Amino acid sequence: MKIAILGGTGNEGFGLGFRWAAAGHEIIIGSRKTEKGESAAADMKERLPEGKISGTNNPDAAQQADVVVLSVPYWAQAGTLESVKEVLANKLLITVVAPTGEKAARVYRLESGLSAAEEAQNQLEGVTRVVAAFQNIGAHHLLDLAHQLDCDVLICGEQKEDKQVAMQLCQDAGLHGVNAGALQNARAVEELTAVLIAINIIHKVKSAGIRITGLA
C-alpha cells in the first residue's frame, strides 16, 4: 500500500510510518515544506535502508498515495486539509489528530462540540472518507521494532471497509485495532488522549495505553 503521512516529520507520524515501511508499505512523508519532507525521509531511510520511503510537500504526498494519514497538531489541521483538499477526493483519510488545550493533561472540548475527525469530514464535504485511529498511541516506542506496543487502537468511522483498512495498518504496526463504531465516537476517543497524558504524568511513565477486555 502507498501511504502518505501528512505531518510525517512529527514523532507519531514518523514512528507509524517507520513501522509501516518495515512491514513493506511504501511511505511518502509529507510536510509543509518539500525539503523538510525529504529530510525526514532520508532519516527514515537511514534507519531502514530496505524501505520504500520518500518525502515531499503535503499536496504532492497526498496526490501520490492510496491512503492518506493526517498526523498534525490540531491547530494545523484546517490549513493542512485546505492545502490537500482537491487531491483527497475519493480517497481514505485516516486522522491521528487528538486536540489538547493549554493544559494537555485535562480533557479539552472543541467549540464546535464535534471531534477533530468530524470537523475534518465536514471540511472535506463528504468527498473524502474519514476514519479516526491511533489517537491513544504514544510515540515513545514506535521506532523500536522489537518493542511490543501494549495498547489497543480504537477505530471510528462510517464504512466497515474503511475501518478494515485501518485495522490492517494496526496489525502491520504491531498493534491491535478495535472497531469502536461511528465517527461521532471519535469525540470520546480523542478526549482519552488527555486522560492518558495525565496518567503518564502522575505515574511517571511515558506510554500509558488502553486495553479493551471481553473480546473473543
Determine what percent of the chain is predicted with pLDDT higher than 70. Answer: 100
The one-letter amino acid at 9: T
2-203 classified as CATH 3.40.190.290: no
Instruction: Please tell me the distance from the alpha carbon of residue 184 to that of residue 209, in angstroms, as a whole number.
Output: 21
pTM for the structure as a whole: 0.96
Q: What is the DSSP string of 37-51?
A: HHHHHHHHHHH-TTS
More confident site: 148 or 25: 25
Instruction: Quick: pLDDT tens for 36-90.
Output: 999 999 999 999 999 999 999 999 999 999 999 999 999 999 999 999 999 999 9
Q: Where are the domains of the chain?
A: 2-203
Instruction: Quick: pLDDT tens for 113-143.
Output: 999 999 999 999 989 999 999 999 989 899 9
Instruction: Please tell me the distance from the alpha carbon of residue 56 to that of residue 73, in angstroms, as a whole number.
Output: 19
Give yes or no for a contact between 96 and 156, defined as CB atoms under 8 angstroms apart. Answer: no
Q: Among candidates 102, 20, 49, 204, which has minimal Cα distance to 8?
A: 20
